[in-house]
Structure 1
Amino acid sequence: MVLPEHHRLLLEQQKQRAVDIIRLLSTYSHILDTYVIEFFSENLWEKVPPSWQATLSNLTAPQMSTLLLERGPCVGRDSVWPLSLLAYRASAQALSFPRQPRGGSPPPPGGGNRPQEFQANHSQSSRLSHHFRRHVKPKKQHEIRRLGAVVKKLCEATGCKHVVDIGSGQGHLSRYLAFRHGLSLTGVEAEGALVTRAKHYDRELLLSLHKEAARSSKSDSDRGSLSAGSARVPLPRHQLGRVDPRAPWEDFLQLLESEDSPEKQGEGGCWRLGVPLVLTGLHACGDLGPAALRHFTHCPSVVGLTAVSCCYMKASTPEEPAAPVQQGDSECGYPMSTWVRGLPGHKLPYKLRELACHAIEDYAGRLKREDAGLRVHCYRAALETIIRQLNPSLRRPGVQTPKNTHLLPFEGYARAGLQKLGMDPGARWDAGRVQSMLAQERRVVAYFCLSLMLAPAIESLILLDRVIYLKEQSFPCELIPLFDPTFSPRNFVLVAAKARDRTGEPLAQERVDHKGTIMCRPPCEGQTPNCVSER
């Protein structure tokens, strides 16, 4: 397969964006390489340029949200900002993929809002049948509905009717794809308790459909009949097993072929060798997302892919391999592409990959509300100085304090933290120095925001690496912001196929504006009639 000309042009722009992001991260490594809990113990405020210090010290929490974390023009400033700070903000935003779904409405002031489908009822999507809301949290309802439409469109474009859901958990997405869109499903899940629960929920839904069909047919002559659609839909097949990111695709197919009581699961849900399949993963953790990409590129049976990744910090790197690296083995979760692997300074240590997983929209909302929990940054940084005073060799220990400890006076918070660490909770400290540190809460939060501003750029680099990897294998692919980011922070889906639809159009509309910014629009959510329809 050879990439079409417009995809080759886009690939060059994507490679350049990766170069620019790496340069940006390298330029500000003196901020990214630090930990906010060491704000006082390492005197981190001195790492901030003096011209930035005056500007940041005067910002209220809501202003930090608007002027530092939110996209768009930097308006509403009542002071002249240093050009270097404006350039930092502009670069961080320009190099990050837009996170708002195309056509979606931006969040109103205040943050913490829910998508339109939850305005009437905060726990039940108005766009889902009650069958698919049972046992499903609102966030997951939003995700399975949106991703389900993309998977359905991909199956239509590739002529494929079987979907394999890796990391399927309790089977919510598998169940939705089977009963809403009439697809044949195999879910692969490593945790046995989740597989058992998924099968239970499947049977529960099928029983509910039987009862509903029986009630609706009471006036018919054949009162016991079910709707034709309900009778035809096979239960998803839930396979207990682990998708090994380092294993060859042949092992993956063997896992799919293994028997798991087909007489109980329903023969229609079982995959057989030679049958094409679409691979999907909703919040595939760590190396599971990269494993899906590799199986798509190498396995002849996999004709389509939709991957929503999460937990980037759990992905393996050459410096932090998931298992002992064999000679000549260069496969890892990051970087995947030859291009990014060859760029100087491309390395992303654990801290940066963890930062990429932060929910920046949620934090912006907390700033706007001036949430009391924001003071925990300052509390923990002050506690770090006390810990080092008592034990200079102990640095950045994990402190598991009770919930809502930010509501306690600092002394109560600190003594609870020391006790958790096995240290003397009655230890004495310089009260005057502590009060001086607590008075700098605004600076601590501002410093944290400086790092958080680059979180979307780091995530964009990780996702760009995966896009470039697929295009290096000559597979056109698209990265789509699919979910509402205020509701589902890891909201990008990577879509790829080994065939195009009948019109020759890509699976989602994608264009590049004059600045090289990728503008994506998710496929429309078609109303495909089936045995269980959305409201």
Structure 2
Amino acid sequence: MKSHKSTLQSVLSAVLKVIRVYEWLLNLYVLDFFVDNHWEKLPTSWREIFQNIDPQVLGDIISGNHNNYVLPLSFLSLLKTVQTYSLPRTSIYNYESFKEIHSIHDSCRGHPRLKNLFLKHVKLKKRHEVTLMAEIVHHTASQVKCDAVVDFGSGLGHLVRLLAYKYDLYAAGIECQSQLTQDARKQDWELEYTAKKYLSTESAIKLRRPIHFDIILNNISQLDHLVLPDTMDNYGLIGLHPCGDLGPLLLKHFVSSNKVRFICVVGCCYMKLTCEGADRGYPMSKYLTGLDSGLSYASREISCHSIDTYCDRLKNGHYEDLKIHAYRAALERILVEHDPKLRHAQVRSIKNSDNMTFQRYCTLAVERLELPLPTCASTWSRGEADLQQWRRVVTVYTLRLLLAPLVETVILLDRILFVIENGFSCNIRPVFDPKISPRNHIIVAKRM
């Protein structure tokens, strides 16, 4: 573990140095492209090569595919560094990775008419996530001989429902929105109603219905006072994309409570992390706290974007709709010139703008602001000229996105190091297909 700890520290130190060097790029908001003249902020050698590169080729470059361009050494160095230090994103799991163990026919898991019952009302992305997450949670629970789990941010209860009815675990869902909790209970009843049509009376009686709580978590002490049934005296903590500080809160509870046998958590919404104070969500580890480890809101926000899907769109030539970035950036210049207080104002999101005039786009985008639009013809002429630079806007955004995995790597490795510093083994692995679920790394730690 000591060797693993020192390796993590070395990686974190190296990645933070890279982030410090390219912080200026991470902190560029795409809508400020024309206001702050982002193109001129790029190194001269980068501008010279990228100004004539088609976005489709740029997608290949970012993905590490072969190209015929002679790229600047500074950019090649950055690209190699990102590839070296970023956490692997290709999923090591699929539905066939887990061999179905022999199941009793007279059960929710074994009856052929009930196998897909858990996927009812579940959208494709969530179906992908809960299916794989449930398998990993069940496997981890078996390793530590634990038969209870508590899911924080359980939403409609899809995951706890799967763990309870299919895997026979005692399961509790914690959700802050009472309406979601009510709907989760309703779906439990619907599932049981259907299951009882096919199961024997004896098996139906044994069904383990999950329980659902309405709780708003603000601090770790609330977790210590959770009133759970006797069957859940010891349990595993699970969090499927807990927002902001909730993920770190669960990790802190794991290391501090002997009741928690294991934890499986997949992070999300890093821009909502608290970065100051004793209860902060980042940094968590003692090592990172002692370094220049600050991550701006902009860098944490871009780290939540889907680089895999975005690069695919570029490589496949499906980038015409990315012109919307240029539309919004051109509008931002008009808003700031009208009133600096309107900088980053919330405007209406407009889709399918490719065949729309700039003036029409602006009219629709600012209608909620009740703002009079310019009447000067030169303003609209300049706006149309700005739109002709959409490839540059896409290029700068893509270069920012190139750095996003490094930021996520720092945040996730900081969490692992925190667990290790507290005396536990911990690992991380890519679970979901990153093109379906961009935040696809699961942190697993066990109290053996």
- TM-score, scaled to structure 2: 0.91
* Equivalent residues in 2 for 1:313-392, closer than 5 Å: 313-318=271-276, 330-344=278-292, 346-367=293-314, 368-392=316-340
Q: Distance in 1 between matches of 2:313 and 2:243?
A: 26
The answer as to 2:91 corresponding to 1:101 is yes
Whether contact under 8 Å (1:282, 1:307) holds in the other structure is yes
Aligned to 2:433: 484
Deviation at 1:151, TM superposition (A): 0.7
The answer as to 2:225 corresponding to 1:239 is no
Q: Distance in 1 between matches of 2:412 and 2:393?
A: 30
Whether contact under 8 Å (2:220, 2:253) holds in the other structure is no
CA deviation map 1:507-526 (0-9, x unaligned)? xxxxxxxxxxxxxxxxxxxx
Give the partner amino acid of 2:169: L
Q: 1:474 to 1:435 in 2, by over 3 A?
A: same
Aligned to 1:26: 20
Whether contact under 8 Å (2:263, 2:445) holds in the other structure is yes
Deviation at 1:427, TM superposition (A): 3.4
Aligned to 1:449: 398
Q: Which runs of 4+ in 1 moved over 4 A?
A: none
Q: Distance in 1 between matches of 2:434 and 2:367?
A: 38
Task: Determine which of 235, 250, 257 is the counterpart of 1:277.
Answer: 235
Q: 1:204 to 1:230 in 2, by over 3 A?
A: same
Aligned to 1:15: 9
Number of residue pairs the alignment of both structures matches: 429
Q: 1:236 to 1:451 in 2, by over 3 A?
A: same
Report the identity percentage: 34
Name structure 1 gaps, 5 residues minimum.
1-6, 106-125, 214-224, 258-269, 319-324, 500-535
Aligned to 2:423: 474
Q: Secondary structure at the match of 1:153?
A: helix
Q: Distance in 2 between matches of 1:256 and 1:58?
A: 63
Q: Distance in 1 between matches of 2:374 and 2:115?
A: 57
Aligned to 1:498: 447
Aligned to 1:201: 187
The answer as to 2:202 corresponding to 1:254 is no
Q: Distance in 1 between matches of 2:158 and 2:150?
A: 13
The answer as to 2:21 corresponding to 1:50 is no
Deviation at 1:254, TM superposition (A): 2.4
Whether contact under 8 Å (1:162, 1:271) holds in the other structure is no
Aligned to 1:292: 250
Q: Secondary structure at the match of 2:198?
A: helix
Whether contact under 8 Å (1:311, 1:357) holds in the other structure is yes
Q: Distance in 2 between matches of 1:239 and 1:348?
A: 34
Deviation at 1:416, TM superposition (A): 2.0
CA deviation map 1:179-215 (0-9, x unaligned)? 11110111111110011011000010011111123xx
Q: Distance in 2 between matches of 1:156 and 1:176?
A: 16
Deviation at 1:403, TM superposition (A): 3.9
Q: Distance in 2 between matches of 1:302 and 1:464?
A: 21
Q: Distance in 2 between matches of 1:371 and 1:80?
A: 23
Give the partner amino acid of 2:365: G
Whether contact under 8 Å (2:220, 2:252) holds in the other structure is no
Whether contact under 8 Å (1:187, 1:239) holds in the other structure is yes
The answer as to 2:149 corresponding to 1:160 is no
Q: Distance in 2 between matches of 1:256 and 1:403?
A: 47
Deviation at 1:440, TM superposition (A): 1.1
Whether contact under 8 Å (1:169, 1:198) holds in the other structure is yes
Give the partner amino acid of 1:364: C
Whether contact under 8 Å (1:401, 1:420) holds in the other structure is no
Q: Distance in 1 between matches of 2:214 and 2:336?
A: 47
The answer as to 2:116 corresponding to 1:145 is no
Aligned to 1:173: 159
CA deviation map 1:2-35 (0-9, x unaligned)? xxxxx22122111111111111111011211221
Name structure 2 gaps, 5 residues minimum.
96-111
Aligned residues: CA RMSD: 1.9
Q: Distance in 2 between matches of 1:276 and 1:65?
A: 48
Q: Distance in 2 between matches of 1:65 and 1:376?
A: 18
Task: Determine which of 369, 390, 395 is the counterpart of 2:343.
Answer: 395
Whether contact under 8 Å (2:27, 2:296) holds in the other structure is no
Aligned to 1:416: 364
Whether contact under 8 Å (1:282, 1:308) holds in the other structure is yes
- TM-score, scaled to structure 1: 0.77
Aligned to 2:61: 67
CA deviation map 1:142-193 (0-9, x unaligned)? 1111111111111111111111111111100000001111101111111100
Give the partner amino acid of 2:225: Q
Q: Distance in 2 between matches of 1:373 and 1:271?
A: 55
Give the partner amino acid of 2:294: K
